[in-house]
């Protein structure tokens, strides 16, 4: 009998967390259950998720930016159906397939339209971290240099090369030693950057122009000066646009905000249309050919699934939807609308330290409030666990207001949202109103939110204790 996926899903929906606890990441399941994120989503459409009872949840996380065009977009669905019905040969490997050529062509034309005609060669792959890994290899091969620079607080992925240039120690514990020759510099410190570049051994300086962990970015001409220094000292300038690219920041590419001319750009997430993993390295032809420099090096860097027909169909469909529906302009417009609403809250509540918005990439950072009762709650939670506070915002946003958001980074007081680029004012209003009510509840101490924080810490510490006991028994 053929597999009946519909029947399988219908009959077993609701077992999600038990299955993951048994066969996948049970630590993640424990966290999800502890913080109230163990919701079974049964359906998804546009900017919304729906549980088994049909309640809607506003998706302001969008799969870490994957669902830029919204969930289950019909145009992307149709592209998948169409390419399957064609019965095309797929991943022959020793051929040059049509679909991958068409996607590369569309990407190059888009860069040309955005003022970057020099980015005219494409390598297709599967994920953001794979795109970064390839970009680092291209840079080293093109320059013949051993070192790589990135920014502190950066995030570039979790495979070894990407992790080695990720300037966030929270992801490093237990995985060293890392790739040698990888160093970080401070965002905004141009003297520190020049000190490293003038050594003459840096192949590339890679930056997230808007950092995913906290939505931090240069407020001045730092990126322009950094690019000029790279040119001066023969270092390639790489823009990691895995999350920021394809409209997220209100421009097709974040480098447009600063009128930059990167040597290499990495893309992923939104390129998938939310269906099939898709990523790309887009660079100068001269850099590309330094890697594939001889006939016997024609596949010296390759990936089995990178040029598959389904991924390319999704990429073509996603780019078309973004164009046809004006999603880049919508991201800019809705980002301005969101920022205005959040600034009103910042002026209303002293616990909100800063609002950072670039298109539909947004972070709200909190700091110790002045009010006596709220201050007591703040100090109590931070004394128990320095990284717990933003979860006290994120959890009620989900469990009470049915809005999905995230804690921006470990050991920070930052809440982050990544709405799909299709959102309108009604979704923004719903979020701002929910955040308003959630922050207002922080002024009540003792109160349910602060009690929730204590319960979270107790649950986590209890789990740590049990895990240690299990480890001792096993050893």
Q: 52 with 14: CB under 8 angstroms?
A: yes
How many residues belong to the chain?
475
Per-residue pLDDT of 37-89, as tens digits, reads 999 999 999 999 999 999 999 999 999 999 999 999 999 999 999 999 999 99
Q: What is the pLDDT of residue 123?
A: 98
Q: How far apart are CA 323 and CA 315, in angstroms?
A: 12
Mean pLDDT computed over 387-414: 92
Do the strands 406-407 and 414-417 form a parallel or antiparallel pair, or are they unpaired? antiparallel
The 10 Å Cβ neighbour count of residue 103 is 25
Closest of 310, 322, 275, 453 to residue 380, by C-alpha = 453
In this predicted structure, the answer to whether residue 398 has a pLDDT above a threshold of 80 is yes
pLDDT band at 455 (very low <50, low <70, confident <90, very high): confident
Q: What is the pLDDT of residue 386?
A: 77
Q: What is the pLDDT of residue 380?
A: 85
Mean pLDDT computed over 104-122: 98
Per-residue pLDDT of 181-206, as tens digits, reads 999 999 999 999 999 999 999 999 99
pLDDT band at 300 (very low <50, low <70, confident <90, very high): very high
Q: How far apart are CA 30 and CA 38, in angstroms?
A: 9
Taking each helix axis as running N to C, give the angle between helix 448-474 and helix 26-34, from 0 to 180 degrees, rounded to the nearest 10: 160
Q: What is the pLDDT of residue 464?
A: 53
DSSP assignment of 28-72 equals HHHHHHHTT----EEEEEBTEEEETT--EEEESSHHHHTTTT-BT
Annotation: CATH topology of 75-324: 3.40.640
Q: What is the pLDDT of residue 463?
A: 61
Say which range, 167-181, 332-346, 417-431, has the weakest mean pLDDT: 167-181
Q: Which residue has the higher pLDDT, 275 or 379?
A: 275
Domain ranges of the chain: 55-69+343-463, 75-324
Q: What is the pLDDT of residue 470?
A: 31
Per-residue pLDDT of 208-233, as tens digits, reads 999 999 999 999 999 999 999 999 99
Per-residue pLDDT of 405-437, as tens digits, reads 999 977 789 999 999 999 999 999 999 999 999
Taking each helix axis as running N to C, give the angle between helix 74-85 and helix 309-324, from 0 to 180 degrees, rounded to the nearest 10: 150
Q: Which stretches does DSSP call E strand in 94-133?
A: 121-125
pLDDT band at 452 (very low <50, low <70, confident <90, very high): confident
Q: Which of 168-177, 267-276, 450-459 has the highest mean pLDDT?
A: 267-276
Q: Name the average pLDDT for the chain.
A: 94
In the chain, the percentage of residues whose pLDDT exceeds 90 is 86
Report the CATH number of the 55-69+343-463 domain. 3.90.1150.10
Q: Which residue has the higher pLDDT, 32 or 380?
A: 32
Rg (CA), the chain: 23
pLDDT band at 468 (very low <50, low <70, confident <90, very high): very low
Q: Count CA within 13 A, CB hemisphere, residue 314.
A: 29
Mean pLDDT computed over 269-278: 97
Global pTM value: 0.94
In this predicted structure, the answer to whether residue 388 has a pLDDT above a threshold of 90 is no
- Planar angle of CA 242, 247, 252, nearest 5 degrees: 90
Mean pLDDT computed over 261-289: 98
Q: What is the pLDDT of residue 15?
A: 97
Closest of 456, 469, 444, 362 to residue 405, by C-alpha = 362
């Amino acid at each position: 009998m053929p597999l009946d996926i519909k029947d399988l899903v219908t009959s077993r929906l609701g077992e999600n967390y038990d299955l993951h606890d048994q066969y996948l990441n049970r630590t993640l399941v424990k966290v999800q259950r502890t913080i109230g994120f163990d919701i079974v989503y049964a359906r998804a459409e546009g900017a919304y998720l729906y549980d088994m009872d049909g309640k809607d949840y506003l998706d302001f996380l969008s799969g870490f930016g994957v669902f830029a065009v919204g969930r289950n977009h019909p145009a992307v669905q149709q592209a998948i159906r169409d390419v399957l019905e064609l019965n095309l040969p797929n991943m022959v490997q020793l051929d040059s397939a049509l679909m991958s050529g068409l996607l590369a062509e569309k990407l190059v034309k888009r860069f040309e339209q955005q003022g970057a005609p020099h980015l005219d060669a494409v390598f297709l792959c599967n994920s953001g971290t794979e795109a970064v890994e390839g970009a680092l290899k291209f840079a080293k091969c093109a320059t013949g240099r051993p070192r790589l620079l990135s920014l502190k607080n950066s995030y570039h992925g979790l495979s070894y090369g990407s992790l080695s240039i990720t300037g966030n120690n929270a992801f490093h514990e237990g995985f060293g030693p890392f790739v040698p020759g990888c160093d970080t510099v401070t965002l905004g410190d141009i003297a520190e950057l020049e000190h490293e570049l003038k050594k003459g051994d840096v192949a590339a300086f890679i930056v997230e122009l808007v950092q995913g962990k906290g939505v931090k970015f240069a407020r001045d001409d730092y990126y322009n000066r950094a690019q000029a220094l790279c040119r001066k000292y023969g270092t390639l300038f790489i823009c990691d646009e895995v999350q920021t690219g394809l409209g997220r920041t209100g421009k097709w590419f974040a480098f447009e905000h600063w009128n930059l001319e990167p040597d290499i750009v990495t893309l992923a997430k939104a390129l998938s249309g939310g269906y099939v993993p898709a990523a790309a390295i887009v660079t100068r032809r001269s850099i590309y050919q330094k890697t594939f420099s001889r006939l016997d090096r024609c596949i010296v860097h390759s990936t089995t699934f990178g040029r598959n027909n389904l991924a390319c169909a999704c990429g073509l469909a996603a780019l078309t939807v973004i164009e046809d529906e004006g999603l880049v302009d919508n991201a800019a417009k809705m980002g301005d609308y969101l920022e205005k609403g959040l600034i009103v809250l910042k002026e209303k509540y002293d616990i909100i330290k800063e609002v950072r918005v670039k298109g539909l990439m947004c972070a709200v950072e909190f700091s110790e409030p002045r009010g006596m009762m709220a201050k007591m709650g703040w100090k109590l939670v931070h004394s128990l666990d320095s990284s717990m506070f933003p979860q006290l915002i994120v959890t009620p946003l989900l469990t009470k207001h049915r809005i999905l958001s995230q804690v921006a980074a470990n050991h920070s007081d930052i809440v982050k949202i990544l709405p799909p680029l299709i959102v309108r004012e009604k979704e923004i209003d719903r979020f701002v109103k929910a955040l308003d009510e959630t922050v207002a509840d922080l002024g009540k101490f003792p109160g349910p939110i602060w009690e929730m924080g204590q319960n979270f810490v107790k649950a986590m510490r209890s789990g740590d204790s049990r895990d240690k006991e299990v480890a001792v028994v096993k050893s």
